[in-house]
Structure 1
Amino acid sequence: MTVAVETRPSQAEAARKRFVLTLLVALGALAVVGLAGALLSWALGGLGAAPPPRSPFGVGLREGGASGGALAGWILGTQAAFYHQLTAALRAMKENGTAGWTLAGLSFAYGVFHAAGPGHGKAVISAWIVANERALRRGLAMAFAAAAVQAVVAIALVTVLAGVLRVTAVRMTNLTSAVELASFAAVALVGAALTWRKSRALAARLVPLGLSHSHAPGEACGPDCAHAHLPGPERASGGWRDAAGAVFAAGVRPCSGAIIVLVFAMAQGLYPAGIAATLAMGLGTAVTTGALAALAVFAKGAALRVAAARGVAAEWVVAGIEVLAGAFVFAMGLALAFGVAGGGAG
């Protein structure tokens, strides 16, 4: 009787191979995302374009993504129109208190529009959901929490800088730019952690620790199986700490429109109205970002159902998409941070 003998590599060797493979998967995902981003930017005429101007009010930040072209010009023009309507509504409040409802409605509409345009906040939340989440409730909670953080940061900055320290508009813009840089650096850190964790999960499918004899999920196996099972894609959420990090990174950059309205409201002696308008903007932003988050949750759920129905090959595709989602967040954070540090468009 012949007995088959299995060769069992050491766990240290398997761990080393897994680390190297994790690094290769992460670098490959970043290369794919970087190439796709460069091609898209070239196709849209964004490479080499001049950075967009700051707001005509002398304060605030450049709006991400508005770097050139007809669409960018339309976005900047629409934003400028919103700014003028918001400041006009604030002036009207001095004579007619009922103009506050107009201000609230305009602020909410601006929040919806602002979130629907180019920007990093919704991209971070959506990509994090694609990489981690399947629960609609948590996706919506993250969207609303990020919008709340953005509104609170804007109120806190203007209250301290303009209300307490009485800094100039130029100084305020420089300080808010520093906050913006910190926000983009946080996005890069969240993306780096997400990319590494998802790359490690994918590498574990290729190099399981322990036994060399392994089989894919779904194959028959007895209750006393000693095989090293290949793990499927990480389908559990990243945990509330990871979610909080993504929310902070997405929301800590203040909205330029909120800063403009708050500064103008303070100058008119209507600062409480400016705070109310900022909160209305946050609600509008949350509605749009929440809709995109829900779309990401449904798309991820559909992909997982397809993977479950079509077997291991589809699960590999889902695992690869999760890695690319993390790499997208990392690359976006780096690009935005270097853009701000180099004086370009955030």
Structure 2
Amino acid sequence: MRWPALILAGLGAVALWLWIFGGADQVTQFATGAQRDVQNAIAAALRGLRAGEPGALATLWGLCFAYGFVHAAGPGHGKLVIGGYGAGTRVPARRLAGLALGASLAQAVTAIALVYAAVIVFGWGRAQMTGVADDVLAPLSYAFIGAVGAWLIVRGIRHLRPKHAHAHHHGEVCGSCGHAHGPTLEQAETVRSWRDALIVVGTIAVRPCTGALFLLILTWRLEIDWAGIIGALIMGLGTASITVLVAFAAVGFRESTLQLVSYAAVARTLAWAEILAGGVVLILASQLVLRSI
């Protein structure tokens, strides 16, 4: 068995465990418990930092990274967007990983902006900000994810449509009219546009991490705002450590699949991959929306 088939078999086994044998629920329970434990440890580290204990700052920031990691280990919309986009679009692995990193840091920036806008302008507390994040921004984010899924489906359908009635070689100059009617394999590997990048990053960033909200509110109250702001960004790096792995896994899945088809069928396979990935994203996002309202 060739290595692309081994990768596909491994990913299929993981998916089967997650969605058929209750693996997703087990991961969620683990992540939720770990997040709660890390939040308690963060609160203790903040008290130590406020009291001037040596090493408290390093402990705090280490816990922030750990919180971001365990938060991302559970089911989340960031992995759904990055995985779906990477599986359905031929974007290079490094660029997709860059989008995953940028989106995680942008999510932290959203938390910072929300907290300081809320406390300065509206005088809100933790409960109000968490309520906005969970009751308003979460459903909005999931709706945006569903829109990304629909967008991938529409784009895949468009790519399936024949450009012209006369015969030509995909990605090469047509002998009938002297023009190229389809992208070469190298052209297909480039990032589609800045619009794509902004959609991916914005869809993830619109929903701030509740752990970052927790940290920022506590550090604001303790008047050590700078420690909370840096800590929120470190949380973003912890989250990115998972989403970047998802990015490479999505690219590996996509490229392994493409190696099983002929060169002539690559464009059509990519179009169907967009449709399939978009359908999965749309279905899962719809479930998330229903659970959050």
TM class by shorter-chain length? 0.7 to 0.9
Distance 1:89 1:227, change over 3 A: closer
Output the amino acid matched with 1:261: L
What's the counterpart of residue 25 of structure 1? Answer: none
Percentage of pairs with the same residue: 36
Question: 1:209, CA displacement in angstroms?
Answer: 5.3
Q: Identify which of 203, 208, 214 aligns with 1:249.
A: 203
Distance 1:149 1:214, change over 3 A: same
What's the counterpart of residue 196 of structure 1? Answer: 154
Which stretch shifts more, 255-264 or 149-158?
255-264
Output the amino acid matched with 1:102: T
Distance 1:192 1:98, change over 3 A: same
What's the counterpart of residue 17 of structure 1? Answer: none
| Residues 134 and 301, structure 1, Cα contact 8 Å, conserved in 2 | no
Question: 1:306, CA displacement in angstroms?
Answer: 3.7
What's the counterpart of residue 44 of structure 1? Answer: 22
| TM-score, with length taken from structure 1 | 0.69
| Residues 60 and 231, structure 2, Cα contact 8 Å, conserved in 1 | yes
What's the counterpart of residue 117 of structure 1? Answer: 74
Distance 1:264 1:215, change over 3 A: same
What's the counterpart of residue 292 of structure 2? Answer: 340
Q: Whole-Å Cα distance in 2 between the matches of residues 210 and 300 of structure 1?
A: 27
Output the amino acid matched with 1:331: I
Q: Whole-Å Cα distance in 1 between the matches of residues 107 and 83 of structure 2?
A: 17
Q: Whole-Å Cα distance in 2 between the matches of residues 107 and 209 of structure 1?
A: 51
What's the counterpart of residue 233 of structure 2? Answer: 279
* Secondary structure of the corresponding residue to residue 339 of structure 1: helix
What's the counterpart of residue 244 of structure 2? Answer: 290
Q: Which has the higher helix share?
A: 2
Output the amino acid matched with 1:320: W
Q: Whole-Å Cα distance in 1 between the matches of residues 169 and 284 of structure 2?
A: 34
Q: Whole-Å Cα distance in 2 between the matches of residues 245 and 70 of structure 1?
A: 31
Q: Whole-Å Cα distance in 2 between the matches of residues 41 and 223 of structure 1?
A: 49
* Secondary structure of the corresponding residue to residue 110 of structure 1: helix
Deviations 1:144-194 (A, max 9, x none): 110111000111111111344212433223322312222122212222112
Q: Whole-Å Cα distance in 2 between the matches of residues 97 and 166 of structure 1?
A: 33
Question: 1:243, CA displacement in angstroms?
Answer: 1.8
Output the amino acid matched with 2:28: A
Which stretch shifts more, 228-237 or 264-273?
228-237
What's the counterpart of residue 9 of structure 2? Answer: none
Q: Whole-Å Cα distance in 2 between the matches of residues 265 and 115 of structure 1?
A: 23
| Residues 167 and 174, structure 2, Cα contact 8 Å, conserved in 1 | no
| Residues 125 and 247, structure 1, Cα contact 8 Å, conserved in 2 | no
Residues 1:73 and 2:25 are matched in the alignment: no
Q: Whole-Å Cα distance in 1 between the matches of residues 21 and 279 of structure 2?
A: 21
Output the amino acid matched with 2:188: R
Q: Whole-Å Cα distance in 2 between the matches of residues 231 and 222 of structure 1?
A: 12
Question: 1:103, CA displacement in angstroms?
Answer: 0.5
Question: 1:333, CA displacement in angstroms?
Answer: 2.6
- The structure having more radius of gyration, on CA atoms, is 1
Deviations 1:99-135 (A, max 9, x none): 1001011111221222222111022012111211331
Gaps of 5+ in 2: 1-14
Q: Identify which of 272, 275, 278 aligns with 1:326.
A: 278
| Residues 107 and 207, structure 2, Cα contact 8 Å, conserved in 1 | yes
Residues 1:102 and 2:59 are matched in the alignment: yes
Q: Whole-Å Cα distance in 1 between the matches of residues 101 and 179 of structure 2?
A: 44
Q: Whole-Å Cα distance in 2 between the matches of residues 180 and 305 of structure 1?
A: 38
CA-atom RMSD in angstroms: 3.2
Q: Identify which of 235, 243, 257 aligns with 2:188.
A: 235
Q: Identify which of 137, 158, 166 aligns with 2:115.
A: 158
* Secondary structure of the corresponding residue to residue 124 of structure 2: coil
Alignment coverage as a number of residue pairs? 274
* Secondary structure of the corresponding residue to residue 94 of structure 2: helix
Distance 1:335 1:232, change over 3 A: farther
| Residues 159 and 268, structure 2, Cα contact 8 Å, conserved in 1 | no
Distance 1:279 1:154, change over 3 A: same
What's the counterpart of residue 34 of structure 1? Answer: none
Output the amino acid matched with 1:243: A
Deviations 1:88-107 (A, max 9, x none): 11111012253100101111
Output the amino acid matched with 1:80: R
